[in-house]
Amino acid sequence: MILAPSVLAADFGRLAAHAREALDAGADWLHIDVMDGHFVPNISFGAPVMRGLKTLVEETNTPFDVHLMIEEPDRYLEDFAAVGADLITVHEEACPHLHRTVQAIHALGCRAGVAVNPATPLVTLEEIAPDLDLVLIMSVNPGFGGQAFIEGSVGKVRRCRQLLAGSGSRALIEVDGGVTPANVRSLTEAGADVIVAGSAVFRGDVADNVAAFREATVTRA
């Protein structure tokens, strides 16, 4: 399991130091939640804040996993690539020309992901699946950290695994929203490769929290 802490839940007053705690504890990626107040009813931060984390990710060789919850993401892809994004994920619901957007992300040298909201059916990804590096299944309605996990997401992950296999896609499956050590195992068993966690990593002791995720997903003989 790849663990991608969402810095949305970190202490912005000491963002890089708090993010470093998660990486020191063994987290794999850093997840960057960009919200525009239009696509989702909340504003978070953009590329300049990511730049503040650039030294940390370069030093530690950490993939920067950017989740754009914004309208017209095509306008900003270059900005996010310029501050070191490794993966850029856009929302299916925000992209009328999704194929073009995915191509634009690849042309910038980044891996491309597509996110689907809880009410968006997976069938919308059927045609694009072979071109994707990642599918992000939202397990809450995007916009805020700390929301309750939507149980139906486990079945959606399982169906996504089948869809990807059927289309010959090698895309990773990422799950985002309300994931905790208590429900993570059901997701990895259903086929999730990447787990995003905000509050469950940054609230309380970060090292203990990361360890709890590892413990919950460890396979014993």
For residue 176, give the 3-state DSSP assignment.
strand
Whether 33 is catalytic is: yes
Near Zn ion in 63-92, by CB under 5 A: 67
Output the smallest distance, CB 148 to ligand DX5, in A. 9
Report the residue from 63, 84, 113, 178 that binds ligand DX5 according to the rule CB under 6 A.
Answer: 178
Q: Which of 33, 36, 65, 133 is catalytic?
A: 33
Q: Among 18-26, 27-35, 95-103, 155-163, which window interacts with Zn ion (CB under 5 A)?
A: 27-35
Which partner in ligand DX5, Zn ion, none is near 30 (CB below 5 to 8 A by kind)?
none
Edge-to-edge order in the sheet of strand 111-116:
2-5, 194-197, 172-176, 134-138, 111-116, 87-91, 64-69, 30-35
Burial of 139 (0-12, 13-18, 19+ CB in 10 A): buried
What's the CA gap between 196 and 174, in Å, rounded?
7
Burial of 141 (0-12, 13-18, 19+ CB in 10 A): middle
Quickly count: other Cβ atoms within 10 Å of residue 109's Cβ.
9
120 part of the interface to ligand DX5, by CB under 6 A: no
Number of residues that bind ligand DX5 (CB under 6 A): 22
Residue with nearest beta carbon to ligand DX5 = 198
Report the residue from 21, 145, 171, 172 that binds ligand DX5 according to the rule CB under 6 A.
Answer: 145
For 17, phi then psi, to 5°, come to -65, -40
Q: Please work out, in degrees rounded to the nearest 5, the angle formed at the alpha carbon of residue 155 by the alpha carbons of 153 and 160.
A: 90
**AA letter at 191:** G
Which partner in ligand DX5, Zn ion, none is near 8 (CB below 5 to 8 A by kind)?
ligand DX5
Whether 28 is catalytic is: no
Output the smallest distance, CB 211 to ligand DX5, in A. 17
Q: Which pair of structure tokens corresponds to residue 192?
A: 């999730």
36 part of the interface to ligand DX5, by CB under 6 A: no
Output the smallest distance, CB 204 to ligand DX5, in A. 12
Q: Which residues are catalytic?
A: 33, 176
Tell me which residues touch ligand DX5 (CB under 6 A): 6, 8-9, 31, 33, 67, 140, 142-147, 176-179, 196-200
